[in-house]
Amino acid sequence: MSARQIKNVSYDFRGQVVLVTGGARGQGRSHALAFAEAGADIVIADIGAAIESVLYPLATTEELNATAAEIEALHVRCLPAVCDVRDARQVEALVDDALAHFGRIDVLINNAGIESISSLVDMGEQQWDDVVDTCLRGAFLCSKYVVPNMIERRRGKIVSTGSTSSYVGVPRNAHYVAAKHGIMGLTKSLALELAEYGINVNAVCPGGMDTPMTAGMLASRDAEWLTGLGELTGIWNLFAPEAMLQPEEISHAMLWLSSDAADFVTGTSIMVDAGFTIK
């Protein structure tokens, strides 16, 4: 496998191992394929089951295995793993398997996430927990179990997926906004704590994405809310109003933050939101 050139930038992740959560589809799949094209061996973890409070389907094990096959077709190794990032024992087993398989984890991409909509008063407690546990606790657990291997080798990159909701409030979305703001708190604190071991911790904050999450919500009773959000903020995308961003746009930022080129970038986030949050 040779270095990958995208948008006139070359990346070379040969000899490195990258763990991507929520890697079966959407942005996670795109990130996994981008790292694989740049020569990395890949671990993709995904839930392979539904979560009751989420109105759209999550990735299946068939999708997970299909993405693993696409990655292997790029002549790198891939370990697909069913793992619910909300569950500490499953995350611990995932990291143990990955280390038994590859001996190291160089890059952790905390990407798994879910979305659901509810006013505060109607929000079920389980609904709150499902979103916060997937989007925030999952990033905490994966970092907790991956970091000892990075500390041992005194290097590592952690990049978590935030959102425009890491910076702005959104009505009927308090759980998701709280979790995505939490990603920034986790990122800044871990960046300070892990700097002495040569570990960088950052986030990428995507705008409205063209992924199964968005498509699933648009096909559910949440469609009205999502359309209303576009109207409320007045814009999705400064470059192409009404257009969603493609997952590959986020992968570019993931690769850069995970590369040696970003060795002096830590505790920060890159907004890849086509201007959504500056409105």
Ligand X SMILES: NC(=O)c1ccc[n+]([C@@H]2O[C@H](COP(=O)([O-])OP(=O)(O)OC[C@H]3O[C@@H](n4cnc5c(N)ncnc54)[C@H](O)[C@@H]3O)[C@@H](O)[C@H]2O)c1
Give the residue, chosen from 214, 258, 259, 266, that forms a contact with ligand X under the rule CB under 6 A. Answer: 214
Question: Using CB under 6 A, which of the segments 9-17, 22-30, 118-126, 184-192 binds ligand X?
Answer: 22-30
Q: Beta partners for 10?
A: 5
Does position 80 interact with ligand X (CB under 6 A)? The reply is no
φ/ψ of 273, rounded to 5, equals -130, 15
- What six digits make up the tokens of 238? 């400064």
Cα distance between residue 131 and residue 88, in whole Å:
16
Question: For residues 84-143, which are near ligand X according to CB under 6 A?
Answer: 84-86, 111-114, 134-135, 138
Q: Does 211 bind ligand X (CB under 6 A)?
A: yes
Measured from the CB atom, the residue of 21 and 149 that comes closer to ligand X is 21
Nearest to 139 by CA among 167, 171, 163, 172: 163
176 labelled catalytic: yes
CB distance 143 to 190 below 8 Å: yes
Judged on CB neighbours under 10 Å (0-12, 13-18, 19+), 234 is exposed
Contact (CB, 8 A) for 27 and 214? no
206 binds ligand X (CB under 6 A): yes
**Residue closest to ligand X, measured at CB:** 113
Smallest separation (angstroms) from ligand X to the CB of 265: 20
Minimum CB–partner distance for residue 3 and ligand X (Å): 26
**Which position among 68, 199, 209, 271 is part of the footprint of ligand X (CB under 6 A)?**
209
CB of 133 to ligand X, least distance (A): 7
* CA distance linking residue 254 with residue 206, whole number of Å: 11
- Among residues 229, 132, 251, the alpha carbon closest in space to that of 183 is found at 132
Rounded CA-CA distance 186/134 in Å is 14
Q: Binding to ligand X by residue 161, rule CB under 6 A?
A: yes
Q: How many residues bind ligand X (CB under 6 A)?
A: 31
Nearer to ligand X among residue 125 and residue 196 (C-beta)? 125
Known catalytic residues are 176
Point out which residues bind ligand X (CB under 6 A): 21-22, 24-28, 46-47, 58-59, 83-86, 111-114, 134-135, 138, 161, 163, 206, 208-209, 211-214
